[in-house]
Structure 1
Amino acid sequence: MSQSVPPSGNPFADAATSDAPGTPDAPDTGSAPTPAPAPARDNLPLGLVAALVAALVAGGVYGGVAGAIEREIGWAAIGVGYLVGFAAAKLGGRSPLLPVVSAALSLGAVYAGQLLAIAIFAAKELKVSATEMFFDNFSLLTQAWNEGKDFMTFVFFALAAVAAFAGAKKAAA
């Protein structure tokens, strides 16, 4: 009986060096492709615009939800503030001005949201549109807000401002 002996060397060596499709012409040096550059950070104007847009959107959602359920929710005010601060710092970077501006804008967003909630509630009662109520009777809404404010109104403001400051610090880290 004769036994066959396998050929010496690597049987796949010829396949690796052939000109088969899909094989690179240059040897692999083990270097990875260069990563894409990081997005631009520390852009204060972009951060301020992002905070303003986030405040307008979050305030509108906050007011819409509060008006629909006819009550305010503390975690929603926290969400408004956190979103404003996070958006500002994520796009604006580490400027020490962004957390402060975010806190101020979140106060405005919660206030506008509370006014929108009153407008929605009043619009349901008077059978008019909420936008008509909000824009045509703004002074009446602010008067209603002044008469209806209580301790919890200011707690919601504080929650939003603290969350905005924290969200901006977290996103900048």
Structure 2
Amino acid sequence: MTAPAPGADGPSLRSRTAQHYSVAPVLDTPEGYVAPGMPGVPVTGYAPPAPAAHRRPRHRRTALAVALALLAALLGGLAYGCAPLRAADSLGWLTIAQAGLVALPLGRLGGRSRLLPALAALLAAGALFLGQLTQQLRRLHAAGPTPHGLLHDTLTTWRAELRPLDLAFYAIALVGGFLLTRRTANRG
């Protein structure tokens, strides 16, 4: 196919009969010109940003994270223990929520420390233990005064009523606290 009008593709070194649409026109470009975006193009008008004096590096707030996790474990355990006594059998699954409450401040504020997931696992299991002891204490207090001592009788009753399902809830608390802390630390 030939060009419809002479010179439509620009000046060419070929004869007019051999000029095709597929032939790129010769551009009038200065010597050493490189198209924008190609390697070797000098970048103009760009200055690297100056380091900001007001921008501080992000510090881990480990002490604050541990304090908030202890508070969350204490409040979660007390809330677990103060739930209605008739619902005690179905409360074990709230262990996941307790582990999440403990893991959130440790993961978000504490960062990616190797110690914090293990601490969260222990705090989540401790919150479950505190909740179960609070439930036993409420039961013994409702039954009347005890001759030995309140703490001794509470621990004895707790140990006597410990079931395999309770041990599964402790395992859920340990694993949930550990994994949730690692996941929240990786997101931040």
Q: Which band: TM-score by shorter chain?
A: 0.5 to 0.7
Does structure 1 residue 91 correspond to structure 2 residue 91? no
Q: How many corresponding residue pairs? A: 131
C-alpha distance in 2, partners of 1:66/1:87?
28
- Alignment-derived partner of residue 151 in structure 1: 164
Deviations 1:114-140 (A, max 9, x none): 0101112233333x8xxxx9xx61111
Match runs of 1:1-40 below 5 Å: 40=58
Q: 2:60 aligns with which of 27, 31, 42?
A: 42
**Structure 1 unaligned blocks of 5 or more:** 1-36
Following the alignment from structure 2 to structure 1, what is the Cα–Cα distance between the partners of residues 157 and 87?
A: 18
Aligned to 1:168: 181
Q: Is the partner of 2:83 in helix, strand or coil?
A: helix
Given the superposition, is the C-alpha separation of residues 92 and 137 from structure 1 closer, same or farther in structure 2, using an over 3 Å criterion?
Answer: same
Sequence identity percentage: 28
Instruction: Say yes or no: does 1:104 pair with 2:104.
Output: no
Matches within 5 A, 1:62-101: 62-65=80-83, 67=85, 69-101=87-119
- For 2:131, the equivalent position in structure 1 comes to 113
> Gaps (5+ residues) in structure 2?
1-54
Cα distance in 2 for partners of 1:118, 1:71 equals 13
* TM-score of the superposed pair, with normalisation by structure 2: 0.61
Bigger relative contact order (CA 8 A; separation at least 6):
1
* Match among 131, 137, 152 for residue 139 of structure 1: 152
Q: CA deviation at 1:62?
A: 1.2
Aligned CA-pair RMSD:
2.5
Structure 1 or 2, whichever has the larger Rg, is 2
- Greater share of helix: 1
Distance 1:96 1:50 in 2: 18
TM-score by length of 1: 0.66
Contact map agreement 2:74 2:127 (CA 8 A) in 1: yes
1:72-131 CA-to-partner distances (Å, cap 9, x unmatched) read 4232011111211122112212211111001011111111110101112233333x8xxx
Amino acid at match of 1:55: A
